[in-house]
Chains A and B, each alone.
Chain A
Amino acid sequence: MFNHPNFIRRREKLKPVEFQPVSEVFEPQVGVIPKSDLSGWVDRRRKVKWSMSAGRKYYLNEAKAREFETKGFLDIVSGAVAPVSDDERAEFLSQVTRISMGGTNG
């Protein structure tokens, strides 16, 4: 006769895994090709900038791609973005200043 040790068997009660909507984990990306050389600040205090060269393909967050497309900075070449309302368009375009160098060079 053999007596098994009387272990107290405790098992953690399993908790259900929580799933987040994909859109809250990964921002949807769309493919873009800039029409101009674009740059902007990642962290102005630390003087860190991002830049994108005209004519090359990049992937951007949908929201930023949508804004930049409306401003005429780039073309969206893959993926889809939400439509831009007239109010949004006006707001985006109000942020853009254009310096035209026409014929005043050198």
Chain B
Amino acid sequence: MKLRWLAGYGPAFVLGVTILAFWELYVRSGQISAEVLPTPIAIVRALIDHWDVISVHTLQTLLETVLGMAAATVFGLLLAITLEISRWSRRAIYPVLVISQTIPIIALAPLLLLWFGIDLGPKVFVVALYCFFPIAVACADGLADAEPELINLLRSMRASRWQILWLVRLPGAMPSFFSGLRIAATYGVTGAIFGEYVGAYQGLGIYMQLSFNSHAIVLVFAAILVTAVLSLLLFGLVSLIERIALPWYHGSAIRRL
């Protein structure tokens, strides 16, 4: 059973190794300078050598990401419910939501710095800003998708609007919600790094900038590697929670504790 699960990732593994091998050879053969594109092996070695410093920045960025995503989830969920409850609010708010995603960080950064300062504030805000949208939209669509027949049934039982929301719409919207959450998880870490560009004492974004300014490109790539791993872990965590929350969605026959 475990073997089959592992085998499922076989092709991805092979593809990954192939790409890395090509990369290593491409740089070693001198086609491109190692100052511009370090080899995978050099990157991993640099990561290990500098782990004591990088781990500090990693933890900072992870903190920003996790807090920002928590805020995004709560806000996105509440927003979706609001959009569902009041149809006119949907027409009024939707365009504003879309616009909120198009504001580039260059414009936002000075404002954030002035309002929130240099601590966690602006980073959490940026992560929340870019993550709440997929969550809110996916969840709102899921809420609206509830079967009308089912709603009728509940109404025949004299269920109130809130009961219908709680008993039928929300649980039914969960698969969509998790869809949105998975998308948000992919962008969470990068969002935190963008937030750090606004101004920060530490964090992977700042580390990348420092390393870049000091011409230590291999460290920039090491930080990118950490970012990638963090994003994968977040993505995996969301999938795990989805499995726990929605066993019925994945065809689990009998309740498992």
Q: Are the chains A and B members of one assembly?
A: no
Q: Which residues of A contact B (CB under 8 A)?
A: none
